[in-house]
Amino acid sequence: MADTISDRDRPADSASDTRIRSISASIIEAPTVRRHKLSNTEIAHQGFVLVRVQLENGVTGIGEASTLGGPRWAEESVESIQAAIQNYLGPALVGQNAMLFEANAVRMAKAATRNFAAKAAVESALFDAIGHTLGLPVSALLGGRVRDRIGVIWALASGDAAQELEEAREKLRLRQHRDFKIKLGFNSPDADIRRLQHLRAGLGDDVKLIVDVNQAWTEAICIRLFPALEELGVVLIEQPVPASQRETMARVAARTHIPLLIDEAAFTNSELASVATQACGSVYSLKLVKSGGLLELKRAAGIAQAFGIELYGGCLLESSIGAAAHMAVFSTLPKLEWGSEHFGPRILVDDLVATPLVFEEYEIHVPTGPGLGIALDEDKVRFMTRKV
């Protein structure tokens, strides 16, 4: 039986030769403008793996894998991502036709289990390379855009309520962000509520507040604090309890009028279907580092909506590279009820691209150029690349 996975196109000329010549991965360490706290980690530098895929036609595509403080948010670290790409994913793809996206995703699945961030970075680079080869934006390869701008949420995560209030007011003054997500769980529950009260009093009732607990609370804490969150007008609660406690999440979801945002509880599509069936939440956070690629991210969106779950464009503090890959997918989704939180490029002291993504009037513009629509600033990349 013929297997298309092992077939390789025979290009008519060198310009159309979209076979993969090489795949490389380097570690980037980018300082952030302020400390960023989660319930289980704190960073002042963001770690990325920059992937370059070179085709036989001479075109190079780029992709990015993002982590938060090592293997704490998920099991991957920049070191493990680089190793997976160099030792397993890359060798599985070199020589193959980059245009065969589905077939190459199957190859990567056979080469490595999970390793979702690594796979997503490679697939992003493949799409970028083919987009440049054809002169088309990645969104066109994914079905075409239905929107060219997406609302963008800003995260407040220093833990200092006074500093966060000043930060939020400045974002509002500049008309960059008007919806804010507050990271909770690294202080005591009572301190979390006092911090939220300070922010609500300082920002007024018209500003939307989302909270992200990053799995830090127990069911008992949720029962005690949810009424206070309702009183403060919080519009969304992200992953309040540990990801493995799906029954607990379903119980706490039933106790509040505030929708729960499912994040770490569902990486794979089967996990997403399971949490949806158990009624663990009514909104799902879409992330390439969870789905493992652009194609799977679109499938995750479809599965969520089949269960009546609304969509939220999640992030892991990506630079403009990773943000552009997400925008390419998000722009093609028929619905994206909660917009996105791809503020990552703005939290970096310096971005990795020559022209960063455009933020204007509380929205992020979807790039329109070929591929991901961005180009590296090689001087910045060299400066921030980890030296061996």
Tell me which of 64, 164, 238, 341 is the catalytic residue.
341
Which candidate in 37, 119, 181, 183 is catalytic? 183
* Residue 318 a catalytic site member: no
pLDDT score for 3: 41
Mean pLDDT, consecutive 10-residue stretches, the chain (388 aa), reads 38 70 97 80 86 98 92 92 98 98 98 98 98 98 98 95 96 96 95 97 97 97 98 98 98 97 97 98 98 98 98 96 98 98 94 94 96 97 92
pLDDT at 103: 98
CA 297, CA 216: separation in Å to the nearest integer? 26
Phi and psi torsions of 236, nearest 5°:
-160, 140
Q: Are 210 and 180 in contact (CB under 8 A)?
A: yes
Q: Could you tell me which residues come within 8 angstroms of residue 49 by beta carbon, excluding any fewer than 6 positions away? A: 25, 26, 27, 28, 64, 65, 78, 81, 82, 85, 117, 118, 121
Q: Tell me yes or no: is domain 140-376 CATH 3.20.20.120.
A: yes
Is 359 within 8 Å of 171 (Cβ atoms)? Answer: no
- Position 7 scores a pLDDT of 36
Q: Where in the chain is the domain with CATH 3.30.390.10?
A: 4-135
| Domain 4-135 CATH (choose: 3.40.50.300, 3.30.390.10, 1.10.3430.10, 3.90.120.10) | 3.30.390.10
Assess whether 183 carries a catalytic annotation: yes
For the chain, state the CA radius of gyration: 21
Q: For residues 154-191, b (16+ Cβ closer than 10 Å) or e, as one string?
A: bbbbbbebeebbebbeebbeeebbbbbbbbbbbbebee
Q: Where in the chain is the domain with CATH 3.20.20.120?
A: 140-376
Which is nearest to 284 in space by CA: 317, 330, 251? 330
Looking at residue 387, what is its pLDDT? 87
Q: What is the Cα–Cα distance from 371 to 142, expressed in whole angstroms?
A: 11
Q: What's the pLDDT score for residue 132?
A: 98
The reported pLDDT for the residue numbered 15 is: 57
